[in-house]
Amino acid sequence: MRPISDTQPLMKSIFPGLEDFPLNVMITSVTKQNNGIPIISFLVIVDDNSITKINHLGNHVNLELFTYTEVNPNGFGKDFFLKFKFLCNSEELEYVAEITANNQIRQIDFIQALKTVDKINVWFANKDRKVEKVISIDFDYQVVKPAVTDLLTPISVTH
């Protein structure tokens, strides 16, 4: 088995500018395989305390995934959120990915990718931006479909 550090160049290509990402914020990325099929990845740069918890997660994690929308504060429609809750023994980690409506093209691309993937990848890196763990998670679009439907429902405005 290859060391996790061998994935460092791949992480940098999936998440350009990762040196500037803040701690404990979940970043999203949609890339394409050579055949055009999308790959959805999430990255969290974690603090020292969370590194210990991540190392305790092991290779098999229980995950609770929650989705919801909120009206975009800039008036661009709705923001889409995916809340990941990783559970293993007594350890629990929670991160939220926001797909903002400020960039509606990116948001639409992300939603379209969600409709076609059956796995998502979650990358964890330490504060020095070095890969600590990559988890591939089975994904079922039906889980997020109610939030996507809400996202695509126009906001009613009363005059």
For the chain, the domains span 4-14+28-152
**What pLDDT is stored for residue 156 in this prediction?**
60
Nearest-5° angle of CA 135, CA 136, CA 137? 110
Q: What is the pLDDT of residue 52?
A: 81
Asked if 41 and 15 count as a contact pair (C-beta separation under 8 A), the reply is yes
Residue-level pLDDT at 159: 52
pLDDT at 72: 92
Q: How does pLDDT run along the chain (159 residues), one tens digit per residue?
A: 667 888 899 999 999 999 999 999 999 999 998 888 999 999 999 998 888 888 777 666 788 899 999 999 998 889 999 999 988 767 788 999 999 999 989 999 999 999 999 999 999 999 999 999 998 989 999 988 888 888 877 766 555
| Report field, pTM of the whole predicted structure over 0.75 | yes
Instruction: State whether residue 131 is helix, strand or coil.
Output: strand
The beta strand positions in the chain, using DSSP E, are 26-32, 38-45, 62-71, 78-88, 91-99, 119-125, 131-138
User: What amino acid is encoded at 105 in this protein?
Assistant: I
Closest by CA position to 75, among listed 110, 112, 101: 101
Instruction: Specify the pLDDT at position 70.
Output: 93
| CA end-to-end distance (rounded Å), the chain | 62
